[in-house]
Amino acid sequence: MKLEGIHHITAITGDAPGNVGFYAGTMGLRLVKKTVNQDDPTVYHLFYADEAGSPGADLTFFEYPGAGPGSPGAGMVHRVVWRVASEEALTFWEERLLADGIASQRSPGRLEFNDPEGLGLALTVSAVADQPLIAEHPEIPGDLALQGFDGVRAYSFDPDRSRGLLQETLGFTPVAGGSFEARGEQRGGFYVYDDAPGRGIPGAGTVHHVAWASPMDDHEAWQRRLVEAGARPTPIIDRFYFRSIYFREPSGVLFEIATIGPGFATDEDRAHLGESLSLPPAFEHLRAQLDGILTPLPNPRRDLVKDVSR
């Protein structure tokens, strides 16, 4: 069995409207699902991705309105890395971010910056043949757009503690230093350790967990393998859009193994993904209550068309 790279990455925001503005506006991603945190349905779970909402491109956020800023530390992912096609793309993003008030640091093949709440982000020129996962945006040419995840960087006090689980149980391949790759038949993604500056504080602008992609047919076997390895995984949890297994790797980072499918078109037409609040059947009875609790959000696709047509 092989994991097909990253499925999704979930972070925390204290400002859902601002979050939509940055990721669906500045970064050019598509808001593909507006739903709720199934463990706390009083808060949003927002998914941004390519046009199809593909695993490998989903950056997701739980909104806790007014949440104070967090600070990443040991046992936390501290930087999300996307692929782009070229140095020309990095120049485009450097200029676009600056126009939006976001400073960045450029190096050969790489651009690093933080989102408005401090979440560490980076763009790297792609060195793999994986299919680019691109969203359509009227201000961003397709050859310059984000192409899906390259990987994540995490903090650890002792990354060697995690080596056995990563390599022997999960099938990650060591690349160099504290870097590992999870690669399946279609996609791959990197997992890289950096020395931890100290203990972290969860909050707005921090990553909650990283999910790795599994074919549906392998999912039960992954759960058994994790149990046998002593990783103490959860049972398989049906999230309606995919199925999930959660566990912490030895450095403390919360991992998920999520299935490729059923997908976000399960309850919405692909042409209208993310335009209205989607609730899995088990949560539909809460709709009237949630309408009075959840923060009103813009429709980014509709608003972008209006702005461009002016």
- Which CATH number covers residue 155? 3.10.180.10
Residue 1 falls inside a structural domain: no
DSSP code, position 225 = H
For 55, half-sphere exposure in the C-beta direction (CA atoms, 13 angstrom radius) is: 28
Report pLDDT digits (tens) over 102-141: 999 999 999 999 999 999 999 999 989 999 999 999 999 9
Structural domain of residue 217, as residue ranges?
6-309
Q: How much is the pLDDT for 284?
A: 95
Calpha distance 135→177 (Å, rounded): 33
Residue 277 has pLDDT above 70, yes or no: yes
Beta-carbon count within 10 A of 61 CB: 27
**Average pLDDT over all residues of the chain:** 94
Residue 245 falls inside a structural domain: yes
User: Model confidence at 306, in pLDDT bands (50, 70, 90)?
Assistant: low
Residue 80 falls inside a structural domain: yes
Residue 165 falls inside a structural domain: yes
Residue 308 has pLDDT above 60, yes or no: no
Report pLDDT digits (tens) over 182-226: 999 999 999 999 999 999 999 999 999 999 999 999 999 999 999
Full-prediction pTM beyond 0.85? Answer: yes
| Residue partners of 25: CB distance under 8 A and separation at least 6 | 300, 304
> Among 41, 52, 37, which residue's Cα sits nearest to residue 263?
52
> Among 231, 245, 75, 83, which residue's Cα sits nearest to residue 166?
231
User: Model confidence at 291, in pLDDT bands (50, 70, 90)?
Assistant: confident
* Strand 6-13, strand 254-259: pairing: unpaired
**What domain count does the chain have?**
1
Residue 210 falls inside a structural domain: yes
Residue 145 has pLDDT above 70, yes or no: yes
CB 12 within 8 A of CB 203: yes
| Residue partners of 8: CB distance under 8 A and separation at least 6 | 47, 55, 58, 59, 60, 210, 211, 258
